[in-house]
Amino acid sequence: MSNNDSSITSVLVANRGEIARRVFATCERMGLSTVAVFSDPDAHAPHVAAADRAVRLPGETSAATYLDADAIIAAAKSAGADAIHPGYGFLSENAAFAQSVIDAGIAWIGPPPSSITSMGSKVNAKAIMSGSGVPILGDLDPATLTASDLPVLIKASAGGGGRGMRIVRDIADLAGEVTAAAREAESAFGDPTVFCEPYVERGHHIEVQVLADRHGRVWTVGERECSIQRRHQKIIEEAPAPLVERIGGDFRDRLFDAARTATSAIGYVGAGTVEFLADGSGRFYFLEMNTRLQVEHPVTEATTGLDLVEWQIRVADGEPLGETPPPITGHSIEARLYAEDPAANWSPQSGTVFDIDLPADVTFDRLDRPGIRVDSGIEAGSEISVFYDPMLAKVISWAPDRTRAAAMLAGALARATVHGPGTNRDLLVTILRHSVFRSGDTDTGFIDEIGLPVLSRPLADASEVRLAAVAAAASGAATNRERASVQRGIPSGWRNLHSQYQTSRFVPDGSDPVADADTAISVRYRAGRDSVELPDDPSVSLVDASSTSVTLEVDGVRRRFAVARHVDAQSRAVTYVDSDTTSVTLRDVPRFIDPSAVGKPGSLLAPMPGSVIRIAVEIGDAVTQGQPLLWLEAMKMEHTVHAPADGVVAELAVVAGQQLAVGDVLAVISSDSTTEETT
């Protein structure tokens, strides 16, 4: 709520990445100047370049930079900003920060601090809602739980985003999970308080977007369904909610009434979201109220035509809402593209983004016809850091109906160019094309029900990977030809008389080009005067090739492949092959393998970048398959590393507090009962 009578002219966004760029885009359209803040790892980030002015926050960690309220307020004053927008995450739901902004004479683009305080503790929020007549799930005391109370959900009282959440189905696991949840909540939010509530199997995550002005008017601006989740974090969101559409009747009206009651009960002002857990019969329960803009707000913008950031600023400047909100039109779906490996328990990935090209009709703006919107905080050359959330982009579709919206979004993701850290792109496409998702009958158990091994399977099957390898080999030969200083233009390997075949060898991404060399994909080829022979691929012929593009004819059908080569952080060659249907990442197998590069048998490698927070075993301990060995923290989430097989801990290569990169050796598990003697 603005605390002065003058109009807002310059906005500092107390955030980074995609949401900072999103707010800047609206400010630019409104004629407002913009100010960015940045940590040292973000010095060259796109959100910094997108602002008119930028102020450095010295340090690397969130605590030293984006969570330093005093430094942000000082930055606003030094840059001449008369308003602060918090984005989401970081300080966006920190009542003390909001009050400090107001006390500093700066307009706060957000709800009153008292509203943030009311909803800041989930325990307190549920008590307020219960007193206002909004249906809630009762709290359970972990100390008094019995097996008959299970399953339960442990939740962090402060914050959200799935951090600190644990489902407990066995009473023997309760104490350990409460401790782990508290530890994760402390790391993410600075508050270890957790609580339990009954876990609703096959629940639906339904949320209502609200807008409230300073004159007592509350709009309910449609609902969203966010039931497709991993680790209790949303990855696909859509509006309107398929569950609400399917149940019909007065279900939407009851949801909207409850959301308005919740909003009015705390004197809310601005944009917020009231979240509910619903079952398939139309019963619903209050979960929490997010006193900020949501990550998934673009689907509401697409179906209403509203610019929610614009209305946040207008409301903060004292403008009233109209009598009624706009109608809902069409269907919109958002997918969150993350740098993570779903098949490896959602391990976050880090490193350089070599190239990214997401098909988009608009960026950071509303769609006025069927199409694709992209909101992203990264670009080619960006570094995905271990310090922040691994989301690369939000890709949003809008169409007159849900079927078309899903097809358009899946197609855009499948055609996207994303070279760098591994992503969840294939999983998103598989979900969007799955018959259960297309039916609209999905709940929070969707991924577990279908099975992660099914959903995380690469889009490219063996034949597609083979074609990609042929294209990579042809491109490599063309690159050698283009680089040749003598006889430029003559095919690599060409001889007047037939000679032996040349061979290129690759392993798919996720395999080790050294350890898995024996199972590599081999492509043999021999260049003649007018053609290139591919003896192992009789149905494939090479039409043309350059270092970056290859055209193959496959059973009479011509297909084009884009090829890009880079060197990763481990100085290994990696090749990306993009086609009209999918993308394949290949790693070159070196011609000669250094024996020292081959890891010891039984080596357990770090699946993600992060830091070691706890080690549960010592050298010489006997372990069983699946036993927890140590815990890593990456991007404020805990990840457990389990023993891959029965054996004995022969080596421990890490200590608590150590920072790791992907592929670092954690331990060596010997299959023998005695460890090897050293000589």
Q: Which stretch of DSSP H or E encloses residue 521?
A: strand 521-527
Q: In this structure, which topology does domain 138-198 adopt according to CATH? A: Dna Ligase; domain 1 (3.30.1490)
pLDDT at 675: 43
Q: How far apart are CA 226 and CA 209, in angstroms?
A: 13
pLDDT at 463: 95
pLDDT at 529: 63
pLDDT at 584 over 80: yes
pLDDT per position as a tens digit, 177-224: 988 888 888 877 778 888 888 887 789 999 999 999 999 999 999 999
> Which part of the chain has CATH 3.30.700?
462-588
pLDDT class of 1 with cuts at 50, 70, 90: very low
pLDDT at 658 over 60: yes
| Residues 152, 196 contacting (CB under 8 angstroms) | yes
Of residues 146 and 330, more confidently modeled: 330
pTM over the 0.75 mark: yes
Q: How far apart are CA 140 and CA 123, in angstroms?
A: 11
pLDDT per position as a tens digit, 547-565: 999 999 999 999 999 999 9
- CATH value of 599-670 in 3.20.20.370, 2.40.50.100, 3.40.1160.10, 2.60.120.700: 2.40.50.100
The highest-confidence range among 58-62, 308-312, 507-511, by mean pLDDT, is: 308-312
CB-count exposure of residue 193 (10 Å: 0-12, 13-18, 19+): middle
Domain 202-325 of CATH type 3.40.50.620: no
CA angle 642-645-646, nearest 5°? Answer: 110
Q: How far apart are CA 425 and CA 430, in angstroms?
A: 9
Between 68-72, 269-273, 502-506, the lowest mean confidence (pLDDT) is in 502-506
> Which part of the chain has CATH 3.40.50.20?
10-109
pLDDT at 530 over 70: no
DSSP 8-state assignment for residue 140: B
pLDDT at 635 over 80: no
pLDDT at 679: 36
pLDDT at 411: 97
pLDDT at 103 over 70: yes
In this structure, the dihedral spanned by the alpha carbons of residues 168, 171, 175 and 176, taken in order and rounded to 10 degrees, is: -60
In this structure, the dihedral spanned by the alpha carbons of residues 248, 254, 259 and 262, taken in order and rounded to 10 degrees, is: -160
**Helices of type H across 508-650:** none
Q: What share of the chain is helix, strand, coil (3-state, %, to 5)?
A: 30, 30, 40
All residues at 6 or more sequence positions from 375 whose CB lies less than 8 Å from its CB, including other chains: 18, 21, 22, 298, 363, 364, 393, 394, 396
> Which part of the chain has CATH 3.30.470.20?
202-325, 330-457
28 φ, ψ (degrees, to nearest 5): -60, -40
Structure tokens at 7: 């109009």
CA of 12: how far to CAs of 4, 36, 586, 617, 627, in Å? 17, 6, 43, 48, 48
pLDDT class of 4 with cuts at 50, 70, 90: very low
Q: Which stretch of DSSP H or E encloses residue 471?
A: helix 462-483
pLDDT per position as a tens digit, 230-270: 988 999 999 999 999 999 999 999 999 999 999 999 999 99
All residues at 6 or more sequence positions from 291 whose CB lies less than 8 Å from its CB, including other chains: 92, 93, 110, 111, 115, 116, 119, 120, 268, 272
pLDDT at 494 over 60: no
383 φ, ψ (degrees, to nearest 5): -100, 125
Q: How far apart are CA 428 and CA 424, in angstroms?
A: 6
Q: How far apart are CA 274 and CA 224, in angstroms?
A: 10
Reported CATH class of domain 462-588: alpha beta
Strand, helix or coil for residue 412: helix
| Residues 154, 168 contacting (CB under 8 angstroms) | yes
Q: In this structure, which topology does domain 330-457 adopt according to CATH? A: D-amino Acid Aminotransferase; Chain A, domain 1 (3.30.470)
pLDDT at 490: 55
> Which part of the chain has CATH 3.30.1490.20?
138-198
> Percentage of residues in the chain with pLDDT exceeding 90?
69
Q: Are strands 53-56 and 33-38 parallel, antiparallel or unpaired?
A: parallel
| Residues 346, 377 contacting (CB under 8 angstroms) | no
Exposure string over 225-234, b if 16+ CB within 10 A, otherwise e: bbbbbbebbb
In this structure, the dihedral spanned by the alpha carbons of residues 23, 24, 26 and 31, taken in order and rounded to 10 degrees, is: 140
| Residues 206, 276 contacting (CB under 8 angstroms) | yes
Query: What is the mean predicted confidence (pLDDT) over 25-36?
Result: 98
pLDDT at 678: 39
Q: Which of 226, 298, 223 is closest to 21 using CA atoms?
A: 298
Across the chain, mean pLDDT equals 90
Cis peptide bond N-terminal to 240, omega within 30: yes
pLDDT per position as a tens digit, 431-488: 999 999 999 999 999 999 999 999 999 999 999 999 999 999 999 999 887 776 555 5
> Which part of the chain has CATH 2.40.50.100?
599-670
Only one residue has tokens 């401790």, namely: 179
Reported CATH class of domain 10-109: alpha beta
pLDDT at 2: 41
Of residues 90 and 137, more confidently modeled: 90
All residues at 6 or more sequence positions from 439 whose CB lies less than 8 Å from its CB, including other chains: none
The highest-confidence range among 55-59, 597-601, 612-616, by mean pLDDT, is: 55-59
461: number of CA atoms within 13 Å, CB side? 2
Q: Which of 102, 89, 109, 116 is closest to 309 using CA atoms?
A: 109
pLDDT at 495: 54
**Helices of type H across 31-121:** 46-50, 69-79, 95-103, 113-120
CB-count exposure of residue 656 (10 Å: 0-12, 13-18, 19+): exposed
Residue type, 447: I
Between 222-236, 396-410, 489-503, 532-546, the lowest mean confidence (pLDDT) is in 489-503
pLDDT at 676 over 50: no
